[in-house]
Amino acid sequence: MTATVPFTDRSAMLQKMRAGEQCQWDLIIVGGGITGAGVLREAVRIGYRALLVEQKDFSWGTSSRSSKMIHGGLRYLGLGDFKLTKESVTERERLVAEAPGLVERTDFYFGMRKGVFPGRWLFRILLWFYDHFAGIKSSGYSNAQQSRQRFQGLGGADLKGSCYYTDGITDDSRLVMRVLQEGIDRGGCALNYLKVDELLVENDQVTGVRLLDQAVEGAAPEPLEIRAPVVINATGAWADKLRNRVNSEVRVRPLRGSHLVIPQERLPVDGVFSFFHPADKRSVFVFPWEGATAIGTTDLDHGDDIDEEASITTEEVDYLLDGVNSQFPEKGISRQDVISTWSGVRPVIGSEKSKDPSKERRDHAVWSDKGLVTVSGGKLTTFRLIALDALAAAASKLPDPQMADDDRIFNPPGTDPAQLVPGDTAWARRLLGRYGDAAQALLEGAPQSEHVRVAGTDFCLAECRWAIQQEATVHLDDLLLRRTRLGLLLPSGGEQLFDELAPMFRELAGWSDSHWQSEVARYRDILRRFYSLPDDGLDNGHA
């Protein structure tokens, strides 16, 4: 088993690169979301010296703001895309098996109502194929009474019942961090807040990148040039921006998906309930996530500057509230119930055939241009396959690969959950899923008082300590919105924790009082603009 090694030391690695000690790599990966993390993991597995750089924080883009679902994409089966469905359910089963505690099998129920297509029997046929591709039996049917017993407040006299099956749910940002850690354990490097300012081109071939350090306050240091025979552009929705340096073609269609987070007690669900929205017959999900209930998603063209965080619109809020109240009318979910929101931009490969965003295909594409390999599109679930395709496109410019010893994404932890947290194996399993064997060091490095769950969530302050010390946390929002999700789950974005977090940052990150105050101001602004209800941030507790 490969031992967990510390996350890349950002300052030390930059110092080495500036000294000329680490400026030549086999490949450079641009983009710190799940696709880039997957490429790093697969590259080091076969012996490549690989560096990943991300212009903001790891998973800052789509990979912290997805719908959190590890799924085969039942709708792709309905559209006849058997290949994508089979690949997806196969990868889903791999992730559920390899990362228990991080990727959890979850029951999905689809409400069947009178006169709504598809009917029960057609849906059951689709589910048979779904189970067949996955090699499991997980589907069935619940009548109206059973469905109402499962989902409190499910209404409508036209409810016939619900077809059910299983898929998975994860914390997408922690999935990225775990995959990055697996790559680092095998010798890879990953650095956040490094922007690719230019591609280096010699003899009409890309030979490296010029980097700008985005984490430095005041006067920025000189740009840094690093080289590799191939650069892999894994920037997702941003892929055209980098690719257009060498090819003017525009292929990525950015689509926004937005979500609401409400307290679990307002709409308790222990499985996913999906339904067709009455306004446009799109699928909407109500699902349990991190001790809260989430509602999503929308599917709209995103015309705003993608370098700005995406945010929900008033129209999207109304759409999601109308949708959930059409299914759970007695609950009366309103804006006053919303704790937070999130919006992500999906990198969908656009086609001329489809003007409806929801009808665009969700598979990925790879392009090779003069030493720049660009990969975009695809699903969270299939990141491993996407990474393999990107490396295959780059193979002609890479050294001969080594033989991989296995194809696992995650090395299984050697720690027994019952010994890690005696008396709470479920929580221990969660920690091992998110941190691997580092979970033991995480707990041992924090006082016992920080092992307690925070305010009804499954996060603890020991995880905050670990993230500040070990996971390249540069800003307060890195910690509260991505390393943990406390900023999305607690009132006022988790301000109740500031008295405990401030001394942690002073001790572990060397922040001064003025630095802490500037980070708090920055964090509040981010919450107000991008994670609150539009135009009424003062009313939902986030300002």
What distance in Å separates the CA atoms of residue 200 and residue 225, rounded to the nearest whole number?
8
Contacts of 171 (CB under 8 A, 6+ apart): 68, 102, 290, 434, 485
Structure tokens, 300: 């709209």
**Domain positions in the chain:** 10-62+173-251+361-397, 263-347, 445-539
pLDDT the model gives residue 219: 66
| pLDDT given at position 356 | 67
Q: What CATH homologous superfamily does 263-347 map to?
A: D-Amino Acid Oxidase, subunit A, domain 2 (3.30.9.10)
The pLDDT, as a whole number, for residue 517 is 98
What pLDDT shows up at residue 543?
31
Task: Label residues 51-60 b or e (16+ Cβ within 10 Å = b).
Answer: bbbbbbbbbb
Nearest to 163 by CA among 312, 7, 309, 276: 276
Q: Please choose, from the candidates 295, 292, 296, the residue with its C-alpha nearest in 3D space to the C-alpha of residue 265.
A: 292
Measuring CA to CA, which residue among 528, 515, 532, 526 is closest to residue 218?
A: 515
What's the length of the chain?
Answer: 543
Contacts of 143 (CB under 8 A, 6+ apart): 160, 161
Contact 213, 32 (CB under 8 A): no
pLDDT of 82 reads 83
Rounded-to-integer distance, Cα 278 and Cα 171, Å: 29
**Topology (CATH) of 10-62+173-251+361-397:** FAD/NAD(P)-binding domain (3.50.50)
pLDDT of the chain, 543 residues: tens digit per residue? 445 678 999 999 999 999 988 889 999 999 999 999 999 999 999 999 999 999 999 999 999 999 999 997 777 777 777 888 899 999 999 999 999 999 999 999 999 999 877 878 888 888 998 898 889 998 999 999 999 999 999 998 899 999 999 999 999 999 999 999 999 999 999 999 999 999 999 999 999 999 999 997 776 778 999 999 999 999 999 999 999 999 999 999 999 999 999 999 999 999 999 999 999 999 999 999 999 999 999 999 999 999 999 999 999 999 999 999 999 999 999 999 999 999 999 999 976 545 667 666 668 999 999 999 999 999 999 999 999 999 999 999 999 999 888 899 999 999 999 999 999 999 999 999 999 999 999 999 999 999 999 998 999 999 999 999 999 999 999 999 999 999 999 999 999 999 999 999 999 999 999 999 999 999 999 999 999 999 754 434 333
List C-alpha distances in Å: 156 to 164, 247, 329.
Answer: 19, 53, 8
* CA-based nearest residue to 242, from 191, 200, 193: 200
